[in-house]
Structure 1
Amino acid sequence: MSGGHVASSPDTNVSSQDDLDLPVVLGRNLRRLRTSQGHSLERLAKQSGVSRAMLGQIETGKSVPTIALLWKVASALHVPFANLLQTEAPRGPKVLRRSDAKLLTSSQGQFTSRALFPFDGNHPVEFYELRIGPLHREAAEPHAPGTRENLFVAKGVVEITAGPDKPQTLTEGDAILFDADVPHVYKNLVAVEAVLYLVMTYAETAG
């Protein structure tokens, strides 16, 4: 999950079948979270490393940023990533159709992440389906302090490296838990797509 450019970048973007609504949702949530914490655009820009101009474009619904840029903003605000995408929480069961999924993609589609939870309310724990293209290597920047990732390999053979720790090779049915507040790498070791399931836990519940 890397990058840091606007939505026109071919590298890493948030996408869904309701993209027309996404800029509005992002802008509303960012403005609410920023003002509730007493941040000016200038202050948030300094803390997140995202330019004031870009933050302003997001808040006004003029830009859909990359997933890595959103991670920087969420980390600076000390909130779970999904809080930037959340909508009103409906009552009753919620079916998440694949056709309606919001996909986080990078490396021209070689790495995709599908949220398996609704973007409503607060989610200190998040659940994703990851797909890694044949022989693809995906590097991720550190997440917020205290963030942990619990990965389960449903298909394929992958190598996971977290910070300075020794790389770990996982095959189908294996799982790994690691601290994700350090640089980490997902690498598909074989020439077929790998499928993994990820539970991401934030500091509030980690430990």
Structure 2
Amino acid sequence: MNRHISPDGYRVDGPAGQDDETGADLPAIVGRNLRRLRTRQGHSLDRLAKLSGVSRAMLGQIETGKSAPTISLLWKVATALGVPFASLLTVEKQAGTVVLRRDRSKVLASSEGRFTSRALFPFDSERQVEFYELRVAPFHREDAHAHAPGTRENLIVAKGAIEILVGQHAPVELTEGDAILFEADVPHGYRNSSHGEAVLYLVMTYVETVG
């Protein structure tokens, strides 16, 4: 598998070779998309750095494909640009039926693999709805930055038990079969409160118009 590991432990995994769904190196794809989205909105690197909190030097390295960005960093940039997360991972659109084989999935992992996010949709276009499988190791807590205004998360627990933490609200405990819908434009987190791995399915909905 191709593996791009970032300094803070996040990585992007994918199948080996150039015949996977992206057909190219992921940092290069992110770099091209970032430059396209930035210039389309008329932002300089300096301005985007101020909006996102990501340094100009790092943005430049990402645009040239010299740096593998972290999940956290990509969220910051996507939020600053007001676009869905997957917009930075988009490749050429595929027509017709698309089959996503489990053993060829793109997996984002953090905390030394204790939290993983698998995309259940092709990175073929900008979209307002994204679908993910999340896996959380026993007793692990994963915190997420606030997403773009209006972003909502709809989760269902397929296995195990989980606590959802949203802003300053009290944690919500969920067990297998329970679902929750919440505003994800505030800091939030997922905490596995059980001895076994928790498996969640997430539908992410953005309010921004895609195009």
TM-score (norm 2): 0.91
2:158 & 2:201 partners in 1: Cα distance? 7
Aligned match of 2:132: 128
Opposite residue 63 of structure 1, the aligned amino acid is S
Opposite residue 200 of structure 2, the aligned amino acid is L
Aligned match of 1:17: 15
Opposite residue 131 of structure 2, the aligned amino acid is F
Q: Secondary structure at the match of 2:69?
A: coil
Offset, 1:204 = 3.4
Offset, 1:77 = 0.5
Offset, 1:164 = 1.3
Aligned match of 1:142: 146
Aligned match of 1:165: 169
Offset, 1:14 = 2.5
Contact 2:6 2:70 in 1 (8 A): no
Offset, 1:148 = 0.6
Q: Superposed, which structure 2 residues align to 1:53-202 within 5 Å?
A: 53-202=57-206
Contact 1:14 1:104 in 2 (8 A): yes
1:82 & 1:88 partners in 2: Cα distance? 13
TM-superposition CA deviations, 1:97-131 (whole Å, max 9, x none): 11221111111100000000000112100000000
Offset, 1:18 = 5.3
Q: Secondary structure at the match of 1:108?
A: helix
Aligned match of 2:20: none
After superposing on structure 2, the runs of 4+ consecutive aligned residues of structure 1 that deviate more than 2 Å are: 17-20
Opposite residue 161 of structure 2, the aligned amino acid is V
Offset, 1:15 = 2.6
Q: Which range is displaced more, 37-46 or 18-27? A: 18-27
1:203 & 1:191 partners in 2: Cα distance? 36
Backbone CA RMSD of aligned residues: 1.5
Offset, 1:92 = 1.2
Opposite residue 75 of structure 2, the aligned amino acid is W
Opposite residue 167 of structure 1, the aligned amino acid is P
Opposite residue 115 of structure 1, the aligned amino acid is A
Alignment length, in residue pairs? Answer: 200
Any gaps of 5 or more consecutive residues in structure 2?
Answer: 18-23
Q: Which range is displaced more, 88-97 or 148-157? A: 88-97
1:49 and 2:53 matched: yes
1:30 & 1:184 partners in 2: Cα distance? 25
Opposite residue 183 of structure 1, the aligned amino acid is P
Offset, 1:62 = 0.6
1:34 & 1:176 partners in 2: Cα distance? 34
Matched residues, percent identical?
A: 67
Aligned match of 1:3: none
Q: Secondary structure at the match of 1:75?
A: helix
TM-superposition CA deviations, 1:14-37 (whole Å, max 9, x none): 232259610111111011001111
Offset, 1:8 = 3.5
2:6 & 2:28 partners in 1: Cα distance? 17
TM-superposition CA deviations, 1:132-156 (whole Å, max 9, x none): 0011111111111111100000000
TM-score (norm 1): 0.92
Offset, 1:10 = 4.8
Opposite residue 14 of structure 2, the aligned amino acid is S
